[in-house]
Chain A
Amino acid sequence: MTLALALLIGVLFTIALYLMMRRNLVKVLIGLIILSNAINLFIFTLGRLVRGRPPLIPAGETALQPPYADPLPQALILTAIVISFGVTAFAIALMRQAYQVLGTSDLNELRDTDIQPRYHPDYHHAESEEEGH
C-alpha cells in the first residue's frame, strides 16, 4: 500500500511541477492545486499507514497498546487543506483579475515588472521615454 501511494505521490508531484512550468496561468493554477494535494498525501503516507486503534490509553493502563494509528498527520493535513483552500480561492480571484486587467494569460508576456517598468503613472508624464536602458 505504501508503495502504491508512493508511486501516486510521485506521479502527482510530476504532474504538478510540469503544469507549474507551463506558460498558461490556468495550468499553473491547476498545478498548484495538484501540488497541495500531492503534499497532503505525502504527509499522510509519511505518518505511517497503520490499521489500528485510536491512540487512547485504556483505563487502568499506563502505556499505549500497539498497533495504534497516529492521528497527528491527519490533523496536519486538515490544517494544510484549510490553508490551501484559502490560498487557492485567493489565487483564482487574483488570476481572474489579472487576466481581465492585463488581457493575457501567457506568463511569457508578463515581463513588465522584470524589466524597465512601463505602466507606472509617472512614466506617462515623463518628458522623455527612455526605453530599453
Chain B
Amino acid sequence: MGDYLVLFPLIVPLFFAILSLFAWRAITWQRVLAVAGTLILFSSGLALLDVVTREGIRTVQIGNWPPPYGISLVVDAFSALMVVIAGGLAVLIAIFSLGSMDEARLRYGFYPLFFVLLMGVCGAFITGDIFNLYVWFEVMLMASFVLIALGGERAQLEGALKYVILNLLSSALFLSATAVLYSLTGTLNMADLSIRLRTTIAPDLVTTVAVMYLIAFSIKAAVFPLFFWLPASYHTPPVTVTALFSGLLTKVGVYALIRVFTLLFLADVAFTHTLILVLGGFTMVTGVLGAAAQYDIRRLLSFHIISQIGYLLMGLGLFSQPALAATLYFMAHVIIAKAVLFLIAEVMYRMGGSFDLRHLGGFYQAYPWLALGFLLPALSLAGIPPLSGFFGKLALVQAGLAQGQFGIVSVSLAVSLLTLFSMTKIWNEGFWKPAPKELRPLSGSMGQRVALILPIALMGLITLGLGLGAEPVYAFAEQAAAQLLDPGAYVAAVIGGLP
C-alpha cells in the first residue's frame, strides 16, 4: 500500500485537474471537485505520514528502472509532513475560494490551475532526483504564472511581469547549477549525488555549485537580497491566490534549500551554512522593516512572509537536530498563520471596502469574532505564548543559544518585537480605531459567508492547537530532523533498498 500512497500526492491533483478540465463550463461541479480533490489529497497525505512514521523512508522507482538510472520518488518524514501541510492548506483555500473567487476567473480555469499548482508543489516534495525537482518547480511556476495573471487587471499584469521574469532567471540558474553538478558527478539521483559529493575531487567547484543552488532557491524563497519581486507581485492577484502562494510557493523554495543543504552540500558546512545563517538574519530584519512602512494590508503581510522565511533559514543555518526540528515546526506554524492573515484581509476588504489600513477601522467593535480570528495568528506570528509561533521561536532560540550563536539569537528576538509592533499596527488601524466609514456586513448567500468564515475559524483553531498540543508535533519534527541529519539512511533507502 505504501508504494501507491507515495504516488497519490502526484496522481490525485493531476486526476482532479483533468476532471475540472472536463467540467470547464460546469462551475458548480468544479467547486465540488475542488473540495473533494483537496480532501482526498489531504487524507492520502495523512496516510502517507502514518506509513512513513511507522516504516521509515519509502521509495518508488518510476518505471521500475533501478536507481540511480531511473527517477526515484522518496518520501521521508519531512516530505510527508510537507505534503500534509500543503494538502491541509489546499482544503482550506478550496473552501475559501467557494465564497471568494469571482465567476469570471472560475470560467478561465482557476480550479484546473489550482490542481496543477498542487501537483507541482507535491512533486517537488516527494522527488528524489534533482532534475526532476527542476521539472516540478517549472510545473508549479507555470501554474502560478497563469494564476497570478488570471483576470488581467492592470496591477496583476504588472506584478506578473516582475514575477515571471525573476522566477525564470532563478530557474535558469537552477538548471545551470544542475548541469555543472551532473558534469562533476555523472548522476542526478540525490541519494547517489550524496555519496559522490562526499568523495569529490573538486571540493571548491562543489561549493560554487552549492552557492549557485543557494542563489537559485533563494530567489524562489524570497531571501535577502533577492526578495524584491515578492512585495511587488504578491498583492496583485485575488487574495485567495495570494494566500495559496504565501503558504506554498516560497516554502517550496525553503524545502529545496533544506533538502540540498542537508543531503548534498555538506562538504563545507562552515562556509555554506554560516552564509545561510547570515542571510537568514538579514532576511528577518529587512522583511519586518519593509513591513513597517506599509499601509496596504496585503503588502504589509507580503513583507512578513519574507521576514518569516528568515526564521526558517536560521534553523537550517544553525544545522543541528534541535534547530532543524524547530524549523520544521515553524514551517507548519507559519504556513497556516500567514495564509489565515491573508484570508482575514479579504474579509476585511469585503466589509470595509479597502485594503488600505487608513481607510479601515472599527472591526473590533462591530465584529469581535473577526478580531479574535485575527489576534490568534497575529500574536502567534509575533511569538506570544501559548500560541504556535512562541514554541517555534523558543525552540529556535534555544538551539541558537546551545550553539553559542548569540548574534542571530538577538536578531531573531528583536525581529519578534518588531513583528509584534507590526501586528499592533494592523490591530490599531484596522480593528481598534473608529471606522472611517460604515462597515457593510458580508454580502452573498449563507453558503458563501460560511465558506469565507469557516477556513478562518479552522486555521485559528489549528494555530491554537499547534501551540497547546506542541508536544506531539514537536516530537514528530524531532524525528524528521534526525532523519534529515542522517543522509546515510536516505541513501540506504534509495540505493540500498533494491529488491
Q: Do chains A and B touch in the complex (CB under 8 A)?
A: yes
Asked if A126 and B182 sit within 8 Å, CB to CB, the answer is no
Q: Which parts of B91-137 form the interface with A (CB within 8 Å)?
A: 131, 135
Asked if A101 and B154 sit within 8 Å, CB to CB, the answer is yes
Q: In the complex, A114→B233 CA distance in Å? A: 8
Contacts of B353 in A (CB 8 A): 122, 125
Q: Choose one: B145, B153, B354; the contact of A90 (CB below 8 Å).
A: B145
Is B164 close to A, CB under 8 A?
yes
Asked if A113 and B355 sit within 8 Å, CB to CB, the answer is no
Asked if A79 and B157 sit within 8 Å, CB to CB, the answer is no
Asked if B155 and A120 sit within 8 Å, CB to CB, the answer is yes
Asked if A94 and B149 sit within 8 Å, CB to CB, the answer is yes
Is B375 close to A, CB under 8 A?
no
Asked if B135 and A97 sit within 8 Å, CB to CB, the answer is no
Q: In the complex, A28→B358 CA distance in Å? A: 37
Q: Mark B148-192, 1 if CB is under 8 A from A, else 0.
A: 010011110111111011001100100110111011001010000
Q: In the complex, A113→B172 CA distance in Å? A: 25
Task: Determine how close the nearest CB of chain A comes to the CB of B222; give it in whole angstroms.
Answer: 15
Asked if B349 and A114 sit within 8 Å, CB to CB, the answer is no
Contacts of B355 in A (CB 8 A): 120, 122
Most chain A beta carbons < 10 A, residue from B175, B183, B354: B175
* Identity of the chain B residue whose Cβ is nearest the Cβ of A115 in the assembled complex: B232
Q: Choose one: A87, A112, A133; the contact of B155 (CB below 8 Å).
A: A112
Secondary structure at the A interface, as helix, strand, loop or mixed, is: helix
Q: Which parts of A72-130 form the interface with B (CB within 8 Å)?
A: 72-73, 76, 79-80, 83, 86-87, 90-91, 94-95, 97-98, 101-102, 107, 110, 112-114, 116-117, 119-120, 122-123, 125-127, 130
* Identity of the chain B residue whose Cβ is nearest the Cβ of A99 in the assembled complex: B157
Q: In the complex, A127→B353 CA distance in Å? A: 12
Is B370 close to A, CB under 8 A?
no
Asked if A20 and B138 sit within 8 Å, CB to CB, the answer is no
Q: In the complex, A15→B34 CA distance in Å? A: 44
Is A39 close to B, CB under 8 A?
yes
Is A43 close to B, CB under 8 A?
yes
Asked if B232 and A91 sit within 8 Å, CB to CB, the answer is no
Asked if B160 and A94 sit within 8 Å, CB to CB, the answer is yes
Contacts of A86 in B (CB 8 A): 142
Asked if B356 and A47 sit within 8 Å, CB to CB, the answer is no
Task: Determine how close the nearest CB of chain B comes to the CB of A125; give it in whole angstroms.
Answer: 6
Asked if A87 and B138 sit within 8 Å, CB to CB, the answer is yes
Asked if A113 and B162 sit within 8 Å, CB to CB, the answer is yes
Asked if A87 and B179 sit within 8 Å, CB to CB, the answer is no
Q: Choose one: A48, A72, A117; the contact of B296 (CB below 8 Å).
A: A117
* Identity of the chain A residue whose Cβ is nearest the Cβ of B141 in the assembled complex: A87
Q: In the complex, A20→B162 CA distance in Å? A: 12
Asked if B182 and A46 sit within 8 Å, CB to CB, the answer is yes
Contacts of B160 in A (CB 8 A): 94, 98
Q: In the complex, A44→B140 CA distance in Å? A: 25
Q: Choose one: B141, B165, B180; the contact of A28 (CB below 8 Å).
A: B165
Asked if B296 and A73 sit within 8 Å, CB to CB, the answer is no
Q: Mark A36-51, 1 if CB is under 8 A from B, else 0.
A: 1001001100111000
Is B295 close to A, CB under 8 A?
yes
Contacts of A120 in B (CB 8 A): 155, 355
Q: Mark A53-77, 1 if CB is under 8 A from B, else 0.
A: 0000000000000000010110010
Q: Choose one: A20, A91, A122; the contact of B354 (CB below 8 Å).
A: A122
Q: In the complex, A106→B177 CA distance in Å? A: 31
Contacts of A48 in B (CB 8 A): 183
Contacts of B235 in A (CB 8 A): 113, 117
Asked if A36 and B161 sit within 8 Å, CB to CB, the answer is no
A133-B175 CB under 8 A given contacts A47-B182, A117-B235, A119-B153: no
Asked if A20 and B146 sit within 8 Å, CB to CB, the answer is no
Task: Determine how close the nearest CB of chain A comes to the CB of B429; give it in whole angstroms.
Answer: 13
Q: In the complex, A94→B160 CA distance in Å? A: 8
Task: Determine how close the nearest CB of chain A comes to the CB of B303; give it in whole angstroms.
Answer: 13
Q: In the complex, A74→B172 CA distance in Å? A: 17
Q: In the complex, A87→B172 CA distance in Å? A: 12
Closest 9 CB pairs of A and B: A46-B183, A43-B179, A98-B157, A122-B354, A119-B155, A119-B154, A113-B159, A46-B179, A113-B232
6 contacts between A and B (CB under 8 A): A39-B175, A43-B179, A80-B175, A102-B157, A102-B158, A112-B154
Given A42-B179, A123-B356, A133-B295, 17 additional A-B pairs, CB 8 A: A32-B168, A39-B172, A39-B175, A46-B180, A73-B179, A94-B157, A95-B161, A98-B158, A102-B157, A107-B161, A110-B162, A112-B155, A113-B162, A114-B228, A119-B153, A122-B355, A127-B437
